[in-house]
Every structure is written in C-alpha cells, then in structure tokens.
Amino acid sequence: MGGTTNVYTAIQFYSSPPIILLYWVELIMARQRFWALIIILLVAIIVIGGIVAWQKYRPPHPVEISLPPPPELNSEVNPAELPQKIDINRAEAWLLEALPGIGETKAQAIIAYRQQNGGFKHIIEITEVDGIGPAIYEEIKDLITIGD
C-alpha cells in the first residue's frame, strides 16, 4: 500500500476495538503535533524575518529636522512673502467674508455701498458702511487696500 494507512489496514493489524481506538487517537495526536510544529515554525520564521528586516531598514542614527532661522527684523522683506491685501473696490462677497468681523451681511453691505457711491476713495470710508465701525476697521485696516 506504500506507506498510507486506512481503516481497513488498521482493522487487519488490530483485531480488538480498544486497540483500533488507540490507533486513531495516536493518529490524531500525531497530526495535531504536526500542525503545532508547523505553526511554531511559521511563527519563528515571521519573528526572525521581522528582526532581520528591522535591523536592515532602521535608520543608523536619529532623523534630525532643521528649520531655517526666522528672518531678521532689520533685513529686507520680500514683497511676495507679505500677505496680500484685499481690494475692497473689486473683491467679491466670499473674499470680503474672509476678513475678520465681516460676515455675509456686511460683505453684501460693502458691495452695495461701492455700487451706490462709485467705489471707495480711501480705506477709512469703509466705516461708512452700516455695521462696520472703528473696532472692525482697526482689525481689517492692514488687510484691505484701494486699487488703482
């Protein structure tokens, strides 16, 4: 039969039922040992592979992050790096709403004012718009401009 064992072979070799039962228990235990050894072997391969990969790919020294020093206060400032001001004579409502203290209603009031009066001549005129007083003007005066 070439090394394979089946029930009929077991019955030929073992005639009493307790011996057949012991044979099957031994066969089952052998298979469980086999799978237990396979599982232990696979876990060992995974652990060893992880250790090898960790040692191979870990950086040899800590990663250092360096930031450039902040620009000196006395040095020249590049105009491209300055925040851009909003032209209140041309800005749409969504852009005006980005200003602090200016919501949808005030943005619409600014647009209505410039349409009625032909635009702003100076940024201080924005205080003439309903709802925009000196406090809001102080917050936005450095963020707004009047275009050419």
How far apart CA 111 and CA 109 sit, in angstroms, is 5
CB atoms inside a 10 Å sphere around CB 109: 18
**If you ran DSSP here, which 8-state letter would residue 129 be given?**
S
Class of domain 79-145: mainly alpha
Q: According to the model, what pLDDT value does residue 33 have?
A: 76
- On whether the CB atoms of residues 141 and 102 are closer than 8 A, the answer is no
pLDDT in tens, 72-112: 655 565 666 666 888 999 989 998 988 989 999 999 999 99
* Both tokens assigned to 18: 């307790």
pLDDT in tens, 2-13: 555 555 554 555
pLDDT in tens, 11-70: 555 555 566 556 656 766 777 778 777 888 888 898 898 888 887 777 666 656 666 776
**If you ran DSSP here, which 8-state letter would residue 127 be given?**
G
CB atoms inside a 10 Å sphere around CB 119: 14
